[in-house]
């Protein structure tokens, strides 16, 4: 969920069988979603398990990106792990950065977030970004993969934890310029045993 969904009725979403939500908090080293604080508070009050995500930028350092996220996202008991969204965008689709450069900054970001929140972040990726930057590495990190056509099979054979299976979901409870929302499934227990509420700071 992000500013593009406009005003969100989190109670309405919870009544439609939604059990968790990740909310966009930050992008790069300086951008924060203007609706994040409101969504963060209201999602917590709705009873949903909630987490925040950061859109990784190839143009800035991992340390400053981590500080941007930390400034925006106040931890609470029961929050889901931070998510780092890695995908090619804009001109990077035609001219992707080298894996070595991305690994250096992404690793800085992940380590800083884990130190601060006491939880290992989840890595979100499109199939192309996964194959280029994550496959064969980042052992121990849960993977959230986007595949809106087929049940995903990761290039290196590892299991996925979250799967974004559509970007054209429609539910009651929001009225922004974007009529669709991303819908995802969790490859785990209904009680989120993999992310116990007591592990947060």
Per the annotation, the verdict on 87 as an active-site residue is yes
The residue written with tokens 């987490």 in the block is 51
Strands 181-186 and 162-169: antiparallel
Q: Rounded distance, CA 94 to CA 170, Å?
A: 31
- Do the Cβ atoms of 27 and 55 come closer than 8 Å? yes
Q: Which run of H or of E encompasses 183?
A: strand 181-186
Q: In degrees rounded to 5, what are phi and psi of residue 182?
A: -80, 135
Query: Which of 87, 100, 114, 197 does the annotation list as catalytic?
Result: 87
DSSP for 140-169 reads T--EEEE-SSS----TT-PPPSEEEEEEEE
Q: Catalogue the active-site residues.
A: 87
């Amino acid at each position: 969920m992000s500013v593009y969904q406009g005003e969100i009725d989190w109670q309405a979403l919870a009544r439609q069988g939604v059990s968790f939500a990740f909310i966009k908090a930050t992008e790069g080293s300086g951008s924060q979603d203007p609706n994040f604080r409101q969504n963060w508070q209201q999602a917590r009050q709705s009873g949903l398990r909630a987490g925040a995500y950061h859109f990784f930028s190839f143009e800035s350092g991992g340390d400053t990106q981590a500080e941007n996220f930390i400034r925006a996202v106040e931890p609470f008991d029961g929050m889901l792990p931070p998510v780092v969204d890695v995908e090619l965008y804009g001109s990077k689709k035609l001219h992707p950065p080298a894996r070595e450069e991305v690994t250096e900054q992404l690793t800085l970001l992940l380590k800083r977030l884990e130190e601060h929140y006491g939880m290992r972040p989840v890595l979100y990726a499109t199939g192309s970004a996964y194959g280029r930057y994550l496959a064969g590495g980042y052992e121990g990190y849960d993977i959230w993969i986007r595949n809106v056509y087929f049940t995903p099979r990761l290039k290196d054979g590892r299991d996925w934890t979250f799967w974004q299976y559509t970007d054209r979901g429609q539910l009651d409870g929001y009225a922004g310029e974007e009529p669709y929302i991303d819908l995802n499934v969790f490859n785990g227990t209904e009680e989120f045993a993999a992310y116990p509420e007591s592990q947060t700071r």
